[in-house]
């Protein structure tokens, strides 16, 4: 969630994200790959360093997330920034009903 939040308003490089969250660069690339496979983040482009090396920058594809809990069921609606229809995930929490007295 941290990476998605950090890239929601500004595209950021893997190195910048690894520094922000104090995680190894290899772990950051792994997380970016997983988020990309889930279509939650995308490579927005690439930039050049002062010594001419190119690096990629990533941006979250999530527009908004809404959670609703009602009678033991959790619903999560994810509105994607570049998709017309929202994703909806429904999870039955399996919470037993209280016994009546």
Q: Where are the domains of the chain?
A: 2-60, 62-92
Q: Confidence band (pLDDT; 50, 70, 90) for 77?
A: confident
CATH fold label, 2-60: Arc Repressor Mutant, subunit A (1.10.10)
CB 11 within 8 A of CB 45: yes
Question: Where does residue 8 rank: exposed (0-12), middle (13-18), buried (19+ CB within 10 A)?
Answer: middle
Q: What is the pLDDT of residues 17-65, one digit of tens each?
A: 999 999 999 999 999 999 999 888 999 888 888 888 898 999 998 888 8
Length of the chain, in residues: 101
What pTM, to 2 d.p., does this model score? Answer: 0.69
End-to-end CA distance of the chain: give it in Å, rounded: 42
């Amino acid at each position: 969630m941290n990476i998605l939040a950090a890239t929601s308003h500004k595209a950021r490089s893997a190195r910048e994200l690894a520094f922000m969250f104090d995680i190894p660069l290899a772990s950051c690339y792994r997380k970016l790959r997983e988020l990309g496979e889930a279509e939650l983040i995308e490579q927005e482009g690439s930039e050049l360093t002062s010594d001419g090396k190119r690096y990629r920058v990533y941006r979250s594809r999530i527009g908004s997330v809404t959670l609703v809990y009602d009678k033991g069921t959790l619903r999560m609606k994810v509105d994607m920034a570049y998709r017309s229809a929202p994703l909806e995930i429904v999870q039955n929490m399996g919470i037993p009903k209280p016994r009546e007295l």
